[in-house]
Amino acid sequence: VVFEPDDVVVPGQPGELLLDLAGAAGIPLLSECGGQGTCGSCRVLVQRGRVSFADQAGREEEITAPREVLACQTAAAGDLVVRIPPEARLRPLHQRITGYLGPEARVYLQEPHQGMPLARRLALELAPPSFDDPTPDWERLAMGLRHACGAERNLTANLDVLREMPRLLRELDFKVSVTVLDEGWQDRLIALGKPDGDPLLGLALDIGTTNIKAELVDLGSGRVLGGASEFNAQARYGEDVISRIIWAQEHEWGADELQDALVTSVNTVIGELLKQTQAAQEQIVAVSCAGNATMISFRLRLPADAIRRAPHVAPVGLPPTVQAGMLGLDTHPAAGVYCLPAINGYVGGDISGGILATGMFAAEDLRALVDVGTNGEIVVGNRDWRMCCACSAGPAFEGMGIECGLPARPGAIESLRYESEHDCVDVRTIGEELPVGVCGNGLAETLATLLDAQVIDRAGNLVAEFPSPRMRQADGEMQFVLLWSDQNATGRDLVLRQSEIDNLIRAKAAVFAALVTLLEELGLSTGDIGHFYLAGAFGSHLDVRTAIKIGLLPDLPAERVTVAGNTALAGAYLTLLSSEARDEIQKLARATTYMDLSTSSRFMEEYIAAQMLPHTNLERFPSLAPDNAGPEWGNSLNR
């Protein structure tokens, strides 16, 4: 039986009720009357397939056109496709925040290329000890485990588990489930329990400089159960990694305080996920963690000083798997924390995750990955070689330093259109909730729509004489009202200020300049690139034309661009589920070369030239009609 739109398949026996099958698929349904067939709350849509009706003495019927049925009164009698409407769900359908997974990457979600998830559970039935076989408990368990794995894996265990082992084995009559962590060349036994426990969960985590995003994943099925994001509380110690490294160095307990701030934020996200999914903390037994090298260093309280000095060396590329309890995470205390390998101090596991998730690592043609975060990172290459660079973009597109900005979460505006004729703003928010602010996507669209409407000129200046009450002067600068106080949930007008627009333009200019510089240093041009991936602060809903219009991307045919969303999180998701993906990412990180732009004069020239919308040199954007140029760009360039 296939359940849509979750796209989950469960095997069923003829006669099993759809209500139970949906539960088995991890999609519990409302059932207010307790399965009596009276309340109608479990109404679902059978798309096609053969069913039998319990309330009609098991009468079977082949369904060819979609039909509404009660899940508590309808059983499968053959292959079925069933759509579950939002109103029948016990838990809301989660908004998937993981980024794009290319076809080369998706193989890791299927056998034979999946291998092992970071943590897995195996049920063992061991022979009890006897005088003929007095093998010690641990060796007995290890033998059973090797037998169940079908492979001669090295095995170790935490002392805590060994201390519980003799009692548990005997209480459970030597029929137990073991939870083991894949640490590469060894498995670690981290928990022991009844054969039928709650599902094992894993956390795919992206620790960004500004935002922390996570998804909770069923390690058995790979299904994403929930997603959440939160500002990184470290922001109060500095906007970017450099200022935080300096802060940590200059304060006696600086590194501890920064780590604590990070733990608090990550635990907030975990708490939100547990609430969303009604799961228990102890179910989370694995964490796969993407992030730049500074964030990972702060995470593990490794000194990050060397990162900020040339040649920007990370303390650790691929850290050993660490026990979550040692890092203060609100998970199972023995959960394994795996970190995606960094390429360099400035190009971290978020980028190796992106190279993995987009499938760039396996591409024959030339590809480019542009990841816009508080730092911008660019990778160019294919399966044989890859070059990367980094630039400081600032956190504007992540919603930091923009009063109305916020990370992508329910209530965040991800799409915004301004229609000057009726002076009207049309928005779409995540979760279709009342607007509370604007996330990266929405900020990019806001720039584009305000440029289209000539509310701002090509230099990004708010045009003071624009005929709308939304345009006003306040606090010594111009601002434009996006939503009036009665149209949003904050109780105040949502505005975009001149200084905020300047931040957004500087961010896109840095990323564009880095991309162009890297390509030119390699003797390449944008035309050589078979496919572009735009990743980072933007969700996958960002329109490619919008990104080109504001000069975030070069002027390319839309079919050569994928707005890939959070590919770091997608990489964390893959490495959470697949040992082969973990092997691959380590290889690809080693085979990716860093190029330093900090001393490149070409980069500075490109950066200055990119400070307009879309660019100073319009010849680089031939597809944009000249009438987009706006009335007074010549002047404002010198502002």
151 binds a second copy (CB under 8 A): no
The footprint of a second copy on residues 79-98 (CB under 8 A) is none
Shortest Cβ distance from residue 307 to a second copy (Å)? 9
What sign does the dihedral 327-331-333-338 (CA atoms) show? negative
With contacts defined by CB under 8 A, name the span among 127-135, 377-385, 391-399, 615-623 that binds a second copy.
127-135
Residue 167 lies near a second copy (rule: CB under 8 A) = yes
Do residues 373 and 536 lie in contact, with contact meaning Cβ atoms separated by under 8 Å?
Answer: yes
Q: Among 136, 431, 530, 631, which residue interacts with a second copy (rule: CB under 8 A)?
A: 136
Listed in order, strand segments (DSSP E) in 219-266 are: 224-231
Integer angstrom CA distances of residue 23 from 42, 75, 217, 323: 12, 13, 17, 32
Binding mask 596-615 for a second copy (x = CB under 8 A): x-------------------
Integer Cα distance of 204 and 102 in angstroms: 18
Does residue 319 touch a second copy according to CB under 8 A?
yes
- Tell the smallest beta-carbon distance from residue 166 to a second copy (Å): 5
- Whole-angstrom distance, CA of residue 546 vs CA of residue 553: 9
Q: Which is nearer to a second copy, 24 or 316 (CB)?
A: 316
Interface with a second copy by CB under 8 A: which range of 302-310, 381-389, 437-445, 451-459? 302-310
CA proximity to 210, closest of 350, 24, 366, 369: 350
Nearer to a second copy, 172 or 609 (CB): 172
Q: Distance between CA 402 and CA 127 in Å, rounded?
A: 64
Compute CA distances 225 → 42, 270, 408, whole Å: 20, 12, 17
From the CB of 130, what's the least distance to a second copy, in Å? Answer: 6
Binding of a second copy by 303 (CB under 8 A):
yes
Residue 502 tokens read as 């300047």
DSSP 522: T
Quickly tell me which residue has 């998804």 as its tokens: 215
Minimum distance of a second copy from residue 566's CB (angstroms): 24
How far the first Cα of the chain sits from its last, in Å, is 63
Return the SS3 of 204.
strand
| Nearer residue to a second copy within complex by CB, 14 or 303 | 303
Q: Helix (H, G, I), strand (E, B), or coil: what is residue 356? A: helix
- Does residue 157 touch a second copy according to CB under 8 A? yes
Structure tokens at 284: 């989370």
Q: How far is the CB of 586 from a second copy (least distance, A)?
A: 10
Kindly indicate which of the ranges 201-209, 309-317, 481-489, 508-516 contains the residues binding a second copy, using the contact rule CB under 8 A.
309-317
Q: Does 308 bind a second copy (CB under 8 A)?
A: no
Q: Is 127 in the site for a second copy (CB under 8 A)?
A: no
Secondary structure E strands in 300-366: 322-323, 336-339
Q: Which of 129, 254, 325, 333 binds a second copy (CB under 8 A)?
A: 129
**In this chain, which of 36, 38, 56, 186 binds a second copy, going by CB under 8 A?**
186
Q: Is 47 in the site for a second copy (CB under 8 A)?
A: no
C-alpha 73/C-alpha 56 separation (Å) is: 9
Total interface residues for a second copy by CB under 8 A = 47
Q: Which residue's CB is nearer to a second copy, number 259 or number 566?
A: 259
Could you tell me which stretch among 12-20, 71-79, 155-163, 467-475 binds a second copy (CB under 8 A)?
155-163
254 binds a second copy (CB under 8 A): no
- Note whether 431 binds a second copy by CB under 8 A: no
CB of 304 to a second copy, least distance (A): 8
All residues at 6 or more sequence positions from 603 whose CB lies less than 8 Å from its CB, including other chains: 391, 513, 514, 517, 597
Sign of CA pseudo-dihedral 407, 410, 416, 422: negative
Distance (Å, whole) CA 283 – CA 264:
20
Per the CB < 8 A criterion, the answer to whether 602 and 516 are in contact is: no
Tokens of 206: 């992206």
Residue 530 contacts by C-beta under 8 Å, 6 or more apart in sequence? 363, 365, 366, 367, 560
592 binds a second copy (CB under 8 A): no
* Residue 310 touches a second copy, criterion: CB under 8 A: yes
Is residue 134 involved in binding a second copy (CB under 8 A)? Answer: yes
In the complex, the smallest distance separating the C-beta of residue 584 from a second copy, rounded to whole angstroms, is: 17
Q: What minimum distance in Å lies between the beta carbon of 266 and a second copy? A: 17
Q: Note the residues at the interface with a second copy (CB under 8 A).
A: 129-131, 134-139, 154, 156-157, 159, 162-163, 165-167, 170, 184-186, 293, 300-303, 305-306, 310-320, 322, 326, 342, 344-345, 594, 596
